[in-house]
Structure 1
Amino acid sequence: MDDLITFLNDQYTKDERDVGAPEKNYEGVHSRWGQRRMVAEIAVKRLLLRGHRPGHFAVTWDTDGEPEYQIACVACCVDVNPEIWPCRHIRLLALPYADQAGYREEWRIPLDHPRVGSVEVSGSRPA
């Protein structure tokens, strides 16, 4: 479970290092955003990651009507339909890094997931 958190924190650390590298030539989207916005975006992602973490037990029911206890996201366990960890929010945060070493396909969330809505992401690999 912590592998996804570790993976994302590692990616954010790399992003921070890239943003702070003076030899980087910020062209295209980077020059439009600027370093300040990129640093703020990384900080917000870290805050989201801190809020969404495994912690609560969720009870689901198997086909025989027997309870199954699973770990749910503490932030997403507020309704009668809790999300099993890793929740869709954290899986979506990982999606831009799907082409990086260490990304696991089991973390991929379909972009037409019923709780996500339909969206098209330019440059993303097909699910």
Structure 2
Amino acid sequence: MTDLADFLRARFAERRAIADTIHDLGCGEIRYDGNCTCGQPALLLVDLDAKLALLDEHGQASLPNGIDLDECRVCGGSNEVWPCPTLRILARPFTGHTGYLEEWAA
């Protein structure tokens, strides 16, 4: 996997998949009806949704004919190259992952 956006989407999906497990291990009020009042699963999911929104906002720019440009839709005007600094910063927590590429370092 060489695209940072795809890499981040996969990492966020993994974190979403384990949100309930993290909750079950850390919450003193394990409830099986999904209505725990500790708020932790919801906070994690909101955080992941915010990161996905940033990822979507800072997507790769494309020409009308569908060809991807080597720039970010948001940062492209400042001549930033793809992947943009925002995505590189979002990737920092995953620098130890086997799929992380050093060229993504911010």
User: Smaller-chain TM-score range?
Assistant: 0.7 to 0.9
CA RMSD of aligned residues (A): 2.6
Aligned to 2:83: 86
Once the two structures are superposed, the pairs formed by residues 1-127 of structure 1 within 5 Å of their partners are 3-21=3-21, 24-26=24-26, 34-55=40-61, 71-78=70-77, 81-109=78-106
Deviation string 1:80-115 (CA, Å, 9 cap, x unpaired) is: x32111110000001111111200010011xxxxxx
Aligned residues: 91
Q: Contact 2:23–2:41 (CA<8 Å) still a contact in 1? A: no
SS of equivalent to 2:76: coil
For residues 44-99 of structure 1, the C-alpha deviation after alignment (integer angstroms, 9 at most, x for no partner) is 00011111112158xxxxxxxxxxxx611111123xx3211111000000111111
Q: Which runs of 4+ in 1 moved over 4 A?
A: none
Higher helix share: 2
Question: Relative contact order (C-alpha < 8 Å, sep 6+): which is higher?
Answer: 2
Task: Tell me the distance in 1 between the aligned counterparts of 2:22 and 2:60.
Answer: 37
2:30 maps to: none
Please give the secondary structure, in 2, of the residue aligned with 1:25: helix
Using the alignment, how far apart are the partners of 2:72 and 2:87 within structure 1?
A: 10
1:21 partner SS:
helix
Higher strand share: 1
With structure 1 as the length reference, what TM-score do the two structures score? 0.62
> Identity, % of aligned pairs?
26
The alpha-carbon deviation at position 26 of structure 1 amounts to 2.2
Unpaired segments ≥5 residues, structure 2: 28-37, 64-68
**Ranges in structure 1 where 5+ consecutive residues have no aligned partner:** 58-69, 110-127
Structure 2 equivalent of residue 60 of structure 1: none
